[in-house]
C-alpha cells in the first residue's frame, strides 16, 4: 500500500504542477524518466529507480497499481515487506538496464530514441518472482481462479509477440528484464541463495540514516554461563520443518489449499523472521 500511495501521490503532484504552472508534463518529469542514450542516463543514474514511480496517464498507473496490489499481497503472505520492496526496486533496475542495453546494442533501435517510465517492469518482476516461487497459487480474476504461472506465461508471451509491432518497445523490454530478474531471484531463493540480501542491507543502512538515537536499538552485552541448547535447537528445527512443509504444500496446491491454522502459523512465522 505504501508503494501504491507513493506512486499515486507523485502522479497527482506532477499532473497538478504541470497544470497550474502551464508546463508540459514530459518536461516536468524528464529528470526522473530513464533515457536510452548513454550520454544522457550517465548524468542521471538515479533514473534507473525513479522512472518506476513516474506514469504517463491515469490508465497507465491504474493497471500497474492493480497488478501491484494483486501480486504484492500474495508475496506478503510469505515474505516481509522489505523483500517485496527489494524485488520491486531491483526489478525496476534490471528492467531499466535491459531497456538501455537493447537500445544501444540491437540494430533495430539504431535510429530510434525513447525514454522509459512506469512501474510495469518492477511489477512484472514481482509477478515473475511469485509465479516461479509458488506457481500453483491461484489468483481470482473476475469469476475465475487462475494459477499464477498461467498468468505469468500468458503476459510474458503477449509482450514477446507484441514486441516487433508495438510503439512501446521500450516498455515491453523493461517487462522482460523485470521478468528475468524475478524468475532468477525465485529460483535462487528456492535453492537457499538470497541474491537480494545485499540490497536489503543497503536499505537497512539507508533507513538507519534517518533514525534518531532513541529509535536505534541499544545493544548491551551480558555474559552468561553456557547452557545446553539442545532443546531450543530441536524446537527451531521442528519449527523450520513445519514452515518448509507448508511452503511445499503451497507450491503443489496453491495458497488457498492451506487451512486457517496453517495460514496463521505461516503469518506468525513470517512476522518473527
Contact 52, 99 (CB under 8 A): no
Q: Cα–Cα distance between 95 and 121 in angstroms, integer?
A: 5
Q: Which residues of 216-245 are buried (b: 16+ CB within 10 A; e: fewer)?
A: eeeeeeeeeeeeeeeeeeeeeeeeeeebee
Instruction: Tell me how far CA of residue 174 lies from CA of 51, 90, 220, 233, in angstroms.
Output: 11, 12, 47, 45
Those residues whose C-beta lies under 8 Å from the C-beta of residue 250, and which sit 6 or more positions away, are 78, 134, 136, 137, 257, 258
Taking residues 84-109, what's their average pLDDT? 92
Residue 154 neighbours by CB distance under 10 Å: 11
More confident residue, 107 or 244: 107
Highest mean pLDDT among 22-31, 37-46, 169-178, 230-239: 169-178
For residue 237, the model assigns a pLDDT of 66
Q: How many residues does the chain have?
A: 273
> Any idea which of 189-193, 215-219, 250-254 has the lowest mean pLDDT?
215-219
Grid cell, residue 233, equals 535447537
Please tell me the predicted confidence (pLDDT) of residue 95: 95
* Terminal CA-CA length for the chain: 21
Mean local confidence (pLDDT), 115-125:
93
170 phi and psi angles, rounded to 5 deg: -60, -45
Q: Provide the grid cell at 187.
A: 529460483
Q: Which of 168-177, 195-204, 229-238, 239-248 has the lowest mean pLDDT?
A: 229-238
Q: How confident is the model at residue 255 (pLDDT cuts 50, 70, 90)?
A: low
Q: Is the pLDDT of residue 31 over 70?
A: yes
| Average predicted confidence (pLDDT) for the chain | 84
Q: At what angle do helices 260-272 and 230-253 cross, to 10 degrees?
A: 120
Per-residue pLDDT of 160-205, as tens digits, reads: 999 888 888 889 999 999 999 999 999 999 998 999 999 888 888 8
Q: Residue 114 has what pLDDT?
A: 81
Q: To which residue does cell 540490497 refer?
A: 199
- The answer on pLDDT for 220 being more than 60 is no
DSSP 116: E
Cβ pair 251, 138 in contact under 8 A: no
Q: State if pTM tops 0.95.
A: no
Beta strands in 142-224 (DSSP E): 144-147
- DSSP string across 17-80: HHHHTT--HHHHHTTTSEES-HHHHTT-TTHHHHGGG--SSHHHHHHHHHHHHHHHHHHHTTS-
pLDDT 10s digits, 89-99 = 999 999 999 99
Within 13 Å and on the Cβ side, how many CA atoms surround 36?
21
Looking at residue 207, its pLDDT comes to 79
- pLDDT tens, position by position, 34-49: 998 888 888 999 999 9
Please tell me the predicted confidence (pLDDT) of residue 266.
73
Amino acid at each position: 500500500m505504501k508503494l501504491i500511495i507513493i506512486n499515486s501521490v507523485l502522479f497527482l503532484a506532477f499532473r497538478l504542477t504541470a497544470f497550474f504552472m502551464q508546463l508540459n508534463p514530459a518536461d516536468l518529469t524528464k529528470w526522473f524518466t530513464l533515457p536510452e542514450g548513454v550520454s544522457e542516463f550517465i548524468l542521471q543514474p538515479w533514473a534507473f529507480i525513479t522512472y518506476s514511480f513516474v506514469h504517463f496517464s491515469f490508465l497507465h498507473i491504474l493497471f500497474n497499481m492493480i497488478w501491484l496490489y494483486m501480486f504484492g499481497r500474495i508475496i506478503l503472505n510469505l515474505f516481509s515487506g522489505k523483500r517485496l520492496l527489494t524485488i520491486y526496486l531491483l526489478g525496476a533496475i534490471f528492467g531499466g538496464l535491459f531497456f538501455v542495453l537493447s537500445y544501444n546494442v540491437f540494430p533495430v533501435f539504431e535510429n530510434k530514441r525513447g525514454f522509459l517510465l512506469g512501474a510495469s517492469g518492477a511489477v512484472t518482476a514481482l509477478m515473475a518472482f511469485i509465479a516461479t516461487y509458488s506457481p500453483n497459487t491461484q489468483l481470482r480474476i473476475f469469476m475465475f481462479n487462475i494459477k499464477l504461472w498461467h498468468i505469468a506465461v500468458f503476459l510474458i508471451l503477449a509482450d514477446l509477440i507484441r514486441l516487433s509491432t508495438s510503439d512501446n518497445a521500450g516498455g515491453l523490454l523493461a517487462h522482460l528484464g523485470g521478468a528475468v530478474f524475478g524468475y532468477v531471484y525465485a529460483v535462487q531463493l528456492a535453492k537457499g541463495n538470497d541474491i537480494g540480501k545485499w540490497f536489503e542491507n543497503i536499505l537497512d543502512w539507508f533507513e538507519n540514516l534517518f533514525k534518531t538515537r532513541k529509535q536505534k536499538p541499544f545493544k548491551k552485552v551480558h555474559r552468561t554461563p553456557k547452557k545446553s541448547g539442545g532443546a531450543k535447537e530441536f524446537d527451531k528445527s521442528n519449527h523450520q520443518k513445519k514452515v518448509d512443509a507448508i511452503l511445499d504444500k503451497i507450491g503443489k496446491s496453491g495458497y488457498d489449499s492451506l487451512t486457517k491454522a496453517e495460514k496463521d502459523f505461516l503469518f506468525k512465522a513470517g512476522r518473527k523472521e
